[in-house]
Amino acid sequence: MRTLIFFTAALLLTAGAAAQNAPSVTVAATRDPVDKSYRKMLAGMDIFERHHALAPHASLRFQLLPRLPTTQLDGITLRVAGDSVSLPVKVAPDHTFTLERNAQAAREDAALIASRKTSTLTWRAQVRSPNVPEGMRRLGDLRLECMVGVEAGLLSNNAQMFAWLGELFTSPARVCGLADGNYLFFADRPVYAVTLRDGKRRATLPMSALYAGGTQTPATLPYCDCQVLLDRSYYAPIWDRSWSDDTLLAFDDMDSPPGPDDSPVADDYRTTARMQARLGPAKVVSFDSGYQMWRYTYPASGDAPPAEFTILFGPDGVARKARLQEPVKTP
């Protein structure tokens, strides 16, 4: 870590010295720091083709998502803009789009520019195989989404001074192939639980795999793609090859009724005040909607992760549903 700090400091000092000695340059226009590079988007399309076997029947689209509460996606327009080219990009009603290949735009290192400030947007790749049941996602599709998204530079977590530095330490193999890659996906609706299904094997993701890990604070949230999508965010085990590409992820929504895997909540535990009085303080993740997810953990045998008891409370402080689950097991 100390070596990394010194290396970072040296880079920053070198950059500062270079800036002081460099001649002044006048440019006709400046880009938003998070306009998307057309070349990198093409690189993402290339990696989709190279790894198409992960989702052999799927097609690739790109998706726009809101990053701020005030973001309005309806009516948004996109264009590929270079020094001499300006190519309109059609945006579908679901805020997805595809890109055509244009050699001149690639030579000019064009940018993909939105009619909204791009700091108000989150961008993702969208890979969808046919015949996946509604309310589910296929793990191979998500693996390919991650590889395309990283290669295309779609992640918008840009604490601006260090955004360029992060590129030195990230790659599709690093982000998508390791357990600590932490590539965020977004469900279509607020998530209560995510269950993996691979043949006869079943496992429910722990709460630490939901809501950006449950670690966001008011200070860090503005730097997260999940700023207004926290209740829809999750980490899928794309790095864990013990789960096949055909594994399905089934989503239980916050507003759906309790299911067969959920536990009844007794009356004397039903409110936040009563729950805390009975069980003590919990790990709590709060959402803009007023919902809260509470988590209690219990020791498991050996080196296994702890079992956990999670409770979803509504804006009125009354429990909507709860679940007691064992740790995720590997074969």
Tell me: the pLDDT tens digits for 210-255? 999 999 988 998 888 899 999 999 999 999 999 999 999 999 999 9
Segment 108-163, tens digit of pLDDT: 999 999 998 878 899 999 999 999 999 999 999 999 999 999 999 987 654 443 44
DSSP three-state, residue 252? strand
Residue 32 confidence class, pLDDT cut points 50, 70, 90 = very low
For the domain spanning 267-325, the CATH number is 3.30.1450
Q: Taking each helix axis from N to C terminus, what angle separates 139-151 and 38-50, rounded to the nearest 10 degrees?
A: 150
Please report which residue ranges of 26-138 form alpha helices under DSSP H. Answer: 38-50, 103-107
The structure's pTM equals 0.84
CA distance 295 to 311: 7
pLDDT at res. 168: 47
Segment 170-221, tens digit of pLDDT: 689 889 999 988 899 999 999 999 999 999 999 999 999 999 999 998 899 8
Segment 78-108, tens digit of pLDDT: 999 999 999 999 999 999 999 999 999 999 9
- Which amino acid, one-letter code, is at 289? S
Please report which residue ranges of 135-222 form alpha helices under DSSP H. Answer: 139-151, 160-166, 172-177
Domain residue spans of the chain: 32-253, 267-325
> Pick the residue with more confidence: 328 or 269?
269
CA distance 137 to 36: 26
